[in-house]
Chain A
Amino acid sequence: DQQVKQNSPSLSVQEGRISILNCDYTNSMFDYFLWYKKYPAEGPTFLISISSIKDKNEDGRFTVFLNKSAKHLSLHIVPSQPGDSAVYFCAARGVTSGSRLTFGEGTQLTVNP
């Protein structure tokens, strides 16, 4: 069973507008969530994270929102830039999982100039 789901395989946005990437999870034991960004032919790189005790975390153009009652998180990128075009993975850690992460399927974001 897929405990972390990213239902949109792709998203296309105009430069300067907001990009919103969504992620749903089913395991209520997840207590920490991360977003990773991946360019072609490179490994994923950490972008931003949020603890389950918070509902928002902001870092520059990137903000992650967590809605625990809906088991939903989203990544907002404002303003979007062509260099943001990449695959974005949502990941979650379980309370009893140590450092193990469960990843979603990924969303390909394309920012058009």
Chain B
Amino acid sequence: NAGVTQTPKFQVLKTGQSMTLQCAQDMNHEYMSWYRQDPGMGLRLIHYSVGAGITDQGEVPNGYNVSRSTTEDFPLRLLSAAPSQTSVYFCASSYWGDKTYEQYFGPGTRLTVT
């Protein structure tokens, strides 16, 4: 099992550009989520999904879009990048309804917006 994979590992964007961060998992997890990590702020939830075709907003959804067409993939789209979106982005997955609530994280994408 590859677990949770994320591409790219690093990305530099200019303000106003758009891009998609890819996330895939091979554990047949229903629940997938995107977080951003900023210094002193911990991990903040951007969007999440409890299954194919179902997505919802987290704590900090503005400027981001998601879709979930398959169980395996959960891409995060930046519509018009802003310097405030410079961050490290983590994708995570888990079984929905699993009583341990343990989430498995990908290695992260470090994004810089200039």
Contact = CB atoms under 8 A, between A and B. Distances in A.
Interface of A: 4, 6, 9, 32, 34, 36, 41-46, 49, 89, 91, 93, 98-106
Contacts of A89: 42-43
Interface residues of B, number: 29
Given A42-B108, A43-B108, A34 B101 contact: yes
A43 B31 contact: no
Interface in B92-106: 92, 94-98, 100-106
A100 B33 CA distance: 8
Contacts of B42: 4, 6, 89, 103-106
Interface of B: 4, 31, 33, 35, 40-45, 48, 50, 58, 90, 92, 94-98, 100-108
